[in-house]
Structure 1
Amino acid sequence: MIRANFLGYTTVTSSKHFPDKTPDESANNQAGEQEASRPLANKRLGRSGEAQPRKPRIQVRSSSAKTSGATKGRADKRNTDKYNTDARKPSVSQGLHHRNQHQGRYDMAALVEALPALSDYLILNPRGEQTIDFADQAAVLCLNQALLLHHYGIQGWQIPVGYLCPPIPGRADYIHYAADLVAKYQLSPRNGQTRVLDIGTGANLIYSLLGASVYQWQMLACDIDQAALDNAAEILQHNPALATQIQLRLQSDKQSIFRQMIQPGEHYQLSVCNPPFYESAADAQAENRRKTRNLARHQQTRTTPGTEPVAPLDSGVNTDTVSSNDPWAKAKSAPDHRALDKQRNFGGQNNELWCEGGELAFLKRMARESKEFATQVDWFTSLVSKQEHVPMLLEYLKRQGAKKTEVVKMAQGQKISRFIAWTF
């Protein structure tokens, strides 16, 4: 069984209902079409056109795509093409980054050709357009798997029971804007590949997968959770080409961020991170209750891929998703799957969302420690969920000796997010 907490994260509690042998998770906030699918949430359309209680297929409209193999081939070709990072500077008002492949409505026909199992979850909204029920977590997980396969050629993507799942469009946006930073400051080495640190990669490995597949970056994916890295290694077994670009490294010191991860003689052009952002489990639970109350008000809102359908504009809540094990969150423990019910949407996952002192304390620690590696990392970056933290972090970085800082804003539908970047 798969449940969603109303912070916008999907939690897998059983794998028996997955559409195939590699059931891949996505977050319900990724859905670009939640707005009109809710009235039909219990009306899946069978082949006869009658409402069915289960998950029958509906006929998929024709598209110009060929076969599943051809779809993957096109994805492979797209991912090996050189992205023009020197193109026009993107504007926040334009929504997703202009290189983001998830613009507009999802092409359901193309996604079904990539992953036929997705057709089991297709319904029609009141306008007669194909969509899925974004309240059905199994449907959203299948959509996420199809997105990764169709757009990036990533196969075998999976998440262990109880781990949290990322929205692909929002994750891709961070990578694209980070690539703009690399291009702006000409960070790529003349003889060699761009090397990027992925701090707190989680079991989903999403930043490293996107950075390697889209920009051919060499990624160092770090986490404190061996189980998360074991799952990441399994994903790489299904993607041998990416396995040559992504290295996994376990952080044994939970009080350190860059120490032990950056070895003597190593040099990186960039680091990326999605930090824990709550100060306590109580804060996370309170936010969960607030989001539950607001769900009905937001579930009909028209959204685009990468948005969070239940989060108000610039809410300060990092609904973009949290990797399965955000780095250095306090008291990591195995999830209590028995607690995953409607009354306890966090269950054992609350420790993945918070750390002592919350986001601000974590990022200040990152800023202090980054100074030790000023000659080994060109630019450090991290998402910042709360806008009010930005001026405090900028001032703190100045006191730490940062020579230059940037704040990069991103817009995914109604949601505003940002990351902070600094160099010494």
Structure 2
Amino acid sequence: MHPRNRYSKGLALEKLAQVDAKLAKHLTFRHGSLQLDFQDETAVRALTAALLAHDFGVHCTLPPDHLCPALPNRLNYIHWIEDVLHASHITDVQGLDIGTGSIAIYACLACAMHPAWTMVGTDIDPSAVASARATIESSPSLAQRITLVETTPHAPLFPRGKFAFCMCNPPFYASPADRQASASAKQEVRRKCTGHATELYTPGGELRFVQRMMDESMQESNRARIVWFSSMLGKLSSLHAAVAHLRCAKITNYAVTEFMQGTTKRWAIAWSFHGARLPDTLVRSEALAKLAPRSTERTTLISANGIAAALRECATLPKEHVDVTVLGEEHVALGLYSACWTRGARRKRKRKEVLAQRADPVLQVELRAQHGKLTIRWLYGMDAVLFESLSKHLFDYLANYSRE
């Protein structure tokens, strides 16, 4: 569970029971504490409604013929999106939730947790949109910041507008037969998991839906106006295939993660056509090592004053092509507006030729010296070759410096 998830230490059933009579009648005292029967769908719906009301100020009626969202797992996804946006230095946030559902759960949670955010939620089910609208309109603060869009199965997935991110929790299954054959589905059936057909099934299942998201995201109009695309996945096999789809399309700026809630595992994938690069701590894990994107960090051993030595080398580069920001002791950031460190660029300078430079950086990195090591982390840029080239240039210089 995400460390910021408010339910990481369990549910405060005793406190909820004192303020929510509808939930209290479903609780029984066993083994020294109040317990809820999670096999009882009515009890679970009462719990979800109570948590939304008392922890987030969202008042809703959960339709009996639609899925009841598990809040801890939904929060894991939102917190991961928060981390992605923070690492990308995005502060002006409008999000998109594809398939928002009967209470627009992601939109409501996101806006309840972030008063400055706005959200757009889409759905192909008119009854879900009507129910979600009733939920949103019951809270004036949400009604001002959440927009619902009823769409159709064959309409474009991404409506008009600019978005910092999009998120999606697509239907797992291709058909009722597919659901029946799934081991996880058999568990759901035992729990009497009720859901509308549009929530449970989509042609080709979750994988085909996410592949469609990826294909539509590659359209120039979409890749320019949405910074981070993302989706949750219910099957590890779907994650493997989704990563393969990105790699086949040569999309290298992506992230994968795993969510754990009790014994339930879910996965998420995000991808972007913009320049912000996420830290390895956010996109790479040992459990998903084979699926992880290329590392954005390079490390080398250094002697004392490694940062100072690296800065001396940067000082030999054209000042108008390099921005240096001191972030702390032995910690700096570099912004480079051309590949001015390369041999080709140096030869041009010797010939007194003007180096072409862009208005925006072609590469941003941070350098941090710690415990006898220098780490270069890629912060921004579209060209992995430039990052590797700069890293090698600085590391070669430091290796020569240490031998002097």
TM-score normalised per structure 2: 0.62
Task: Give the Cα–Cα distance (whole angstroms) in 2 for the partners of residues 246 and 289 of structure 1.
Answer: 33
Q: Indicate the residue corresponding to 1:219 in structure 2.
A: 119
Moved more, 268-277 or 102-111: 102-111
Unpaired runs of 5+ residues, structure 2, are 274-404
Distance 1:349-1:187 versus aligned 2 partners, 3 A rule: same
Q: Indicate the residue corresponding to 1:275 in structure 2.
A: 170
The structure that is strand-richer by fraction is: 2
**Total equivalences in the alignment:** 270
Computed over aligned residues only, the root mean square deviation of the Cα atoms, in angstroms, reads: 2.3
Unpaired runs of 5+ residues, structure 1, are 1-95, 296-309, 311-341
TM-score normalised per structure 1: 0.60
Q: Is the 8 A contact 1:229 1:248 kept in 2?
A: yes
Q: Is the 8 A contact 1:187 1:378 kept in 2?
A: no
Q: Indicate the residue corresponding to 2:94 in structure 1.
A: 195
Q: Is the 8 A contact 1:222 1:251 kept in 2?
A: yes
Q: Is the 8 A contact 1:101 1:151 kept in 2?
A: no
Distance 1:105-1:399 versus aligned 2 partners, 3 A rule: closer
> What is the correspondence of 1:128-277 to structure 2 with a 5 Å cutoff?
128-155=32-59, 157-189=60-92, 194-216=93-115, 217-252=117-152, 254-259=153-158, 261=159, 263=160, 266-277=161-172
Report the residue type matching 2:104 in the other structure. Answer: L
- How far the C-alpha of 1:351 sits from its partner, in A, is 4.9
Q: Secondary structure at the match of 1:375?
A: helix
Task: Give the Cα–Cα distance (whole angstroms) in 2 for the partners of residues 251 and 210 of structure 1.
Answer: 22
Say yes or no: does 1:378 pair with 2:227: yes
> What is the correspondence of 1:16-415 to structure 2 with a 5 Å cutoff?
96-125=1-30, 127-155=31-59, 157-189=60-92, 194-216=93-115, 217-252=117-152, 254-259=153-158, 261=159, 263=160, 266-287=161-182, 291=186, 349-372=196-219, 373-415=222-264
- How far the C-alpha of 1:137 sits from its partner, in A, is 2.3
Q: Is the 8 A contact 2:129 2:150 kept in 1?
A: yes
CA deviations on 1:117-172 (whole Å, 9 max, x unpaired) are 322122112x22111222332222211111111211112x1133411111111111
Higher relative contact order (CA 8 A, sep 6+): 1
- How far the C-alpha of 1:245 sits from its partner, in A, is 1.2
Task: Give the Cα–Cα distance (whole angstroms) in 2 for the partners of residues 243 and 256 of structure 1.
Answer: 25
Report the residue type matching 1:154 in the other structure. Answer: V
Report the residue type matching 1:233 in the other structure. Answer: R
Report the residue type matching 1:397 in the other structure. Answer: L
Q: Indicate the residue corresponding to 2:284 in structure 1.
A: none
Distance 1:114-1:293 versus aligned 2 partners, 3 A rule: closer
Moved more, 201-210 or 382-391: 382-391
CA deviations on 1:188-220 (whole Å, 9 max, x unpaired) are 23xxxx010000001121000111001232100
The structure that is helix-richer by fraction is: 2
Distance 1:101-1:292 versus aligned 2 partners, 3 A rule: closer
Q: Secondary structure at the match of 1:109?
A: helix
Report the residue type matching 1:168 in the other structure. Answer: L
Task: Give the Cα–Cα distance (whole angstroms) in 2 for the partners of residues 199 and 224 of structure 1.
Answer: 10
**Higher Rg of the two aligned structures:** 2
Q: Is the 8 A contact 2:107 2:121 kept in 1?
A: yes
